[in-house]
């Protein structure tokens, strides 16, 4: 796939990337990619993203060791979003230590935490 086939200009050079467990279908996270992050992902087979807050590239798991091995890349009908189907190594996709970034649900107007916590972020990141 050629990264230029995606419409990166629609959202200022970035496209949303939904990350899903390739085996279970569980949605693990949402991040953003630019052309270079997509190129790195396709070349390495590991998930790369562009951090809007840090204004830099990052490979998922570069700090925690919980990397994502990309099994499949899918593109939506408008070519302005991608879906990465991955094998989540280490069990956690979220920097909070949860398996998925979507570890909370809305119940009666309140957020209820119900996701699996795999690691303690203070131990991993020293925060």
In CATH terms, 11-118 corresponds, of 3.40.1180.10, 3.10.20.810, 3.40.50.1970, 3.40.50.300, to 3.10.20.810
pTM value is 0.90
Q: Where are the alpha helices (DSSP H) in 1-127?
A: 35-44, 121-125
Q: Compute the average pLDDT of residues 103-122.
A: 92
According to the model, what pLDDT value does residue 127 have?
Answer: 60
Domains in the chain: boundaries = 11-118
pLDDT tens-digit map of 79-112: 999 999 999 999 899 999 999 999 999 999 999 9
Q: Is the pLDDT of residue 16 over 80?
A: yes
Q: What is the DSSP letter of 116?
A: P
Asked if 59 and 48 count as a contact pair (C-beta separation under 8 A), the reply is yes
According to the model, what pLDDT value does residue 20 have?
Answer: 98
Q: Is the pLDDT of residue 14 over 90?
A: yes
């Amino acid at each position: 796939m050629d990264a230029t086939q995606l419409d990166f200009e629609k959202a200022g050079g970035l496209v949303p990337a939904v990350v899903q467990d390739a085996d279970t279908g569980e949605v693990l996270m949402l991040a953003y990619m630019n052309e270079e992050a997509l190129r790195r992902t396709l070349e390495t087979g590991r998930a790369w993203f562009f951090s809007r807050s840090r204004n830099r590239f990052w490979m998922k798991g570069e700090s925690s060791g919980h990397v994502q091995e990309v099994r499949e890349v899918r593109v939506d009908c408008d070519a302005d979003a991608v879906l990465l189907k991955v094998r989540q190594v280490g069990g956690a996709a979220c920097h909070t230590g949860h398996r998925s970034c979507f570890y909370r649900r809305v119940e009666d107007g309140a957020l209820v935490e119900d996701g699996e916590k795999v690691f303690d972020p203070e131990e991993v990141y020293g925060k």
